[in-house]
Amino acid sequence: MKKKSIAMLASILILILLLPSCGAKDGIEETSAPEDPAVTESAETIESGGGESIAEYFFVKSNTCYQYESSIPDLNQQVYVTYTGNDRIQRWVSAQKMSSTEVIEYKNGELKLIFGEPTFYYMENLLSVEPTLGFIILKEPLQVGQKWAPDEYTQVEITSMNSPVSTSSGDYEAMEISSTSTDGRVQREYYAKNVGLVKTEYTSSEGSLYDFSLKSIESATLDFPAYFYPIGDGEKEERFIRFTTDSDLAELISDEMHIPLEGGLSLLPEGVRINSLDVDRTVGGIAADLSSTLESFGTLEEQAVQAIADTLGNFYDISKVKLTVSGASYKPSGDGFIEVRLESAAPAESGL
């Protein structure tokens, strides 16, 4: 895709197209509102000084699904905050059966999209990723007349601080962000204070109009499909890893691995945990550090090691896994990695 095509599309993808589906069938299960209001309060990772700040308009909620609807059904999308920290947030997004992930950073009065993967179907903490993008979403001070250029093809301006907007989720007085491209495309985004993005309107250079608006904000969790491989003969078992904002995946997967599979054996014996998971996609591998060896499996130890590697490799879509015990190499082969049985690695249907 040419840079010019990316320029305007990026402003749509930033906060809209990178969005998860609400409902267990679609990868997110609706839950009742938590009793503790702190669960869905604004995350303390994007902060600013007084006045009209980015923190007031880019409102971050944990364990919450923002669902957007459009007059074009294929554009119905949802967004879920997966990780927060160090002035960054990571969001997992779905539209139809596509899912994406993005990392957004607030720094020096600017909110930027610094990383985005348009087809990303796996859960992984990317907050420490090196920036590959620098697309400015919002720039302080937030006031009428504020302008910036997110790229060489686009000009952005705050054109109103109290524009009336009606959506299925309610009526708002919103900040209006107007973007124009050098080939005549126009986009308007509307942010409501203490809510976030509530509506987007996009007009192509040919005059076609596309719009998205906030349908609902719901307390939710994410369910990610995973294949658990048995020790010895048997069919792999499909399970779902239930994820909430800032969950520790090593802990979640450890818990699941202690639950016996259909054959009666669990992948981790009692007392053994996964201390950490470190994905390195540059080498196509993942390092999993265990708290202890699997010697209690006796003659099945080697099969158990392979089953754990296959389970982790398929969950992360990684071809090889290295197991360590408290940092020391465990059951290495060749370069220390165990090859994952990828012939069985067809991804589970997520409904997204």
Rg of the chain's alpha carbons, rounded to an integer? 22
What pLDDT does 122 receive? 82
Q: How far apart are CA 80 and CA 31, in angstroms?
A: 14
Q: How confident is the model at residue 237 (pLDDT cuts 50, 70, 90)?
A: very high
Q: How far apart are CA 8 and CA 159, in angstroms?
A: 18
Tens-place pLDDT, residues 262-310: 878 999 999 999 999 999 888 889 999 999 999 999 999 999 999 999 9
Same domain, 328 and 255: yes
Q: What percentage of the chain carries pLDDT values higher than 70?
A: 81
Q: What's the domain count of the chain?
A: 2
Least confident span in 77-86, 131-140, 232-241: 232-241
Residue 343 pLDDT greater than 60, yes or no: no
What pLDDT does 336 receive? 78
Q: How far apart are CA 40 and CA 286, in angstroms?
A: 32
> Mean pLDDT of all residues in the chain?
82
Same domain, 45 and 65: yes
Q: How confident is the model at residue 331 (pLDDT cuts 50, 70, 90)?
A: low
Query: Which 3 state secondary structure label does DSSP give 235?
Result: coil
Amino acid in the structure at residue 106 = Y
What pLDDT does 109 receive? 94
Cβ(79)–Cβ(102) under 8 Å?
Answer: no
What pLDDT does 337 receive? 85
Tens-place pLDDT, residues 1-42: 333 333 333 333 433 333 323 443 344 444 433 333 333 344
Tens-place pLDDT, residues 155-174: 999 999 999 999 999 999 99
- Mutual orientation of helices 301-316 and 249-257 as an angle, nearest 10°? 140
> Whole-prediction pTM value?
0.81
Specify if 139 maps to a domain: yes
Chain centre to alpha carbon of residue 205: 31
Burial class (CB in 10 A: 0-12, 13-18, 19+), 171: exposed
User: What is the average per-residue pLDDT within 303-324?
Assistant: 92
User: What is the average per-residue pLDDT within 215-231?
Assistant: 92
Specify if 352 maps to a domain: no
What pLDDT does 1 receive? 37
Q: Which helix (H) or strand (E) holds 10?
A: helix 3-12
Q: How far apart are CA 347 and CA 190, in angstroms?
A: 37
User: The domain spanning residue 60 has which CATH number?
Assistant: 2.40.360
User: Domain boundary at 200, 220, 240, which?
Assistant: 220
| Non-local CB neighbours of 316 within 8 Å, separated by 6+ positions | 122, 124, 279, 286
Q: Which helix (H) or strand (E) holds 257?
A: helix 249-257
Cβ(314)–Cβ(345) under 8 Å?
Answer: yes
Q: What domain range is 297 assigned to?
A: 229-344
What pLDDT does 158 receive? 96
Same domain, 124 and 199: yes
| Non-local CB neighbours of 87 within 8 Å, separated by 6+ positions | 45, 46, 47, 105, 106, 107
- Could you count the other beta carbons within 10 Å of the beta carbon of residue 258? 15
Same domain, 201 and 133: yes
Same domain, 216 and 234: no
Q: How far apart are CA 342 and CA 310, in angstroms?
A: 8
Tens-place pLDDT, residues 82-126: 999 989 999 998 887 788 999 999 999 999 999 999 888 888 999
What pLDDT does 96 receive? 76
Query: What single DSSP character describes residue 319?
Result: S
User: Domain boundary at 167, 193, 220, which?
Assistant: 220
Q: Output 36 or 209, whichever has higher pLDDT.
A: 209
The first and second tokens of residue 86, run together, are 């160090």
